[in-house]
Structure 1
Amino acid sequence: MSAYGGRNAVITGGSSGIGFATARLLVDAGARVVITGRSRAALDAARQRLGENATAVRSDVSSLPDLDALAARARDALGTVDALFVNAGVTRAMPFESTTEEMYDESFAINVKGAFFTVQKLAPLLSTGAGVVLTTSVANVKGIAQTSVSSAGKAALCSMARSLSSELLPRGIRVNAISPGPVDTGTLENTMTEEDAEQFKAARVAENPMRRFGTPEEIARAMAFLAFDAT
């Protein structure tokens, strides 16, 4: 049997970046996965690349009705869930002085509220011994300029992981958080001007001991380890 044959996983934010790399790793190793995202086109492209063991569900984690629908689809497609990857999130450069209430609310609605209710809505499907992995960021401790809102949300996820670990422990469910450093997912180019993105990336590379960005595939291996193997 393949490494993850017979295993089922749900990955929010699974149509690109770390989420897609995790989905591909698991599918290639025999698992069945449900991936989510907000872009139908991106989901369709990801589903085609992943093959028949993947189900793509358009879902906004900040919407509780969408999360209810996701739980229903996951139940129909998978039955039970062995791994839940709470990966959907947004990271936008927000200078302190120009951050609006709308920008703040959107960030916390997706990164914090969305994560909490993703776990709540999917928890009834989690099997005994299942693993939950929340994607946070090294920014939650680094104090990086222009990331005060998103970094605060990511720090909240670290605290949430600790509390949910206690809440779900009686069911044998493990909860972990992974805090990647800079990873080249293409997200920066979608949220900044090309010049700002290059400057931001250069600064992160300069302060990184390895002098490079990580790859989604590297983080995916760590995600899979925490979800299935780290007991």
Structure 2
Amino acid sequence: MEQLKGKIAVVTGGNSGIGYATAKELKQQGATVIITGRRKEAIETAAAELGVTGIVADQGNLMAIESLADTVKTAYGAIDILFINAGVLAGAGIEQATEEIFDQVIDVNFKGAYFTLSRFIPVLKDGASVIFLSSNTASMNVAHSSIYSSSKAALNAVMKIAAIELAPRKIRVNAISPGPIETEILHKQGYSEEELKGVKSWIVDRIPLKHMGKAGDIGKMVVQLSGDAASFVTGAELVMDGGMSL
């Protein structure tokens, strides 16, 4: 059953990982999907593989966000689903933190996500669904994660306020907070195969369900939050971390 047939969805950061998996799930459920990302080649490749529309846009750049919103409005008029997924993972101890790392994380994860919502509000249909990708670290206290965790905690605060502000238009705003998810992001951290195995083992030991999540798990939840079954859900943070934050 195509529960999202006729819906139009935008997925930021849709060329890999959770964004890619979510775009695939949305399309399978009948939605017309637009994915965005910073790298032209990666977006074009992903769009071709998925059979969706790809637009190059950097969530860390306000002008790019505004251009994206204008492009989508011109091409589609209005959209039903906005999944604000693009983000970066970086961090340092508070004493060792640099302005460069701080700005990189906050510009994309918080400022970029904030203004993506802001500039897309006029493009949202009444009754639309907005979903932020947050993180279980927003409510956990882990060394060397202060910048990243703060960016996601701030996002959760905006989500709740947006849910109130947009309620008169029946627009629902929610957040999904994953724990460790099996994506290529761990492979980009420069670990050797042996180190990567050790990191994964350390992570799994801290998850009551004893396994990492899959990107498709998040995609399925985005579909759920975008459909009629979640018509009374707004201002909610759905934690998907196998019990890690308990």
TM range (shorter): over 0.9
Kept after mapping to 1: 8 A contact 2:91/2:101: no
Kept after mapping to 2: 8 A contact 1:112/1:156: yes
Q: Which moved more, 1:81-90 or 1:185-194?
A: 185-194
> If each structure's helix is expressed as a fraction of its own residues, which one has the higher value?
1
Q: Could you tell me how far 1:93 is from its partner in structure 2?
A: 4.0
Q: Could you tell me how far 1:116 is from its partner in structure 2?
A: 0.7
Give the alignment partner of residue 118 of structure 1, picking from 116, 119, 122. 116
* Counterpart residue identity of residue 100, structure 2: E
CA distance in 1, matches of 2:222, 2:159: 14
Q: Which moved more, 1:1-10 or 1:14-23?
A: 1-10
Q: Could you tell me how far 1:152 is from its partner in structure 2?
A: 0.9
Find the counterpart in structure 1 of residue 35 from structure 2: 35
Find the counterpart in structure 1 of residue 226 from structure 2: 227
Find the counterpart in structure 1 of residue 77 from structure 2: 79
Find the counterpart in structure 1 of residue 184 from structure 2: 186
Kept after mapping to 2: 8 A contact 1:92/1:191: no
Aligned residue for 2:125, secondary structure, equals: strand
Give the alignment partner of residue 155 of structure 2, picking from 154, 157, 170. 157
Alignment of 1:1-231 (within 5 A): 2-51=2-51, 54-194=52-192, 197-229=196-228, 230-231=230-231
Q: How many residues align?
A: 229
Aligned residue for 1:70, secondary structure, equals: helix
Q: Could you tell me how far 1:22 is from its partner in structure 2?
A: 0.8
Structure 1 unaligned spans of 5+: none
What CA deviation, in whole Å up to 9, does each residue of 1:94-146 have, x standing for no partner? 23332211101110010000011000111101011101000000111122232
CA distance in 2, matches of 1:12, 1:89: 9
Kept after mapping to 2: 8 A contact 1:93/1:191: no
Aligned residue for 2:182, secondary structure, equals: coil
CA distance in 1, matches of 2:101, 2:227: 35
Superposition RMSD in Å: 1.5
Cα distance 1:215–1:14, how it changes in 2: closer, same or farther (>3 A)? same
* Counterpart residue identity of residue 155, structure 2: L
Aligned residue for 1:190, secondary structure, equals: helix
What CA deviation, in whole Å up to 9, does each residue of 1:15-47 have, x standing for no partner? 111111111111122211111111112111111
Q: Could you tell me how far 1:197 is from its partner in structure 2?
A: 4.4
Query: TM-score, length-normalised on structure 2?
Result: 0.88
Kept after mapping to 2: 8 A contact 1:55/1:77: no
Aligned residue for 2:95, secondary structure, equals: helix
* Counterpart residue identity of residue 111, structure 1: N
CA distance in 2, matches of 1:82, 1:112: 22
Cα distance 1:127–1:193, how it changes in 2: closer, same or farther (>3 A)? same
* Counterpart residue identity of residue 212, structure 2: F
Kept after mapping to 2: 8 A contact 1:94/1:147: yes
Q: How much identity, in percent, do the aligned residues show?
A: 39
Aligned residue for 2:126, secondary structure, equals: strand
What CA deviation, in whole Å up to 9, does each residue of 1:35-70 have, x standing for no partner? 11111121111111111xx21111111211101111
Find the counterpart in structure 1 of residue 240 from structure 2: none
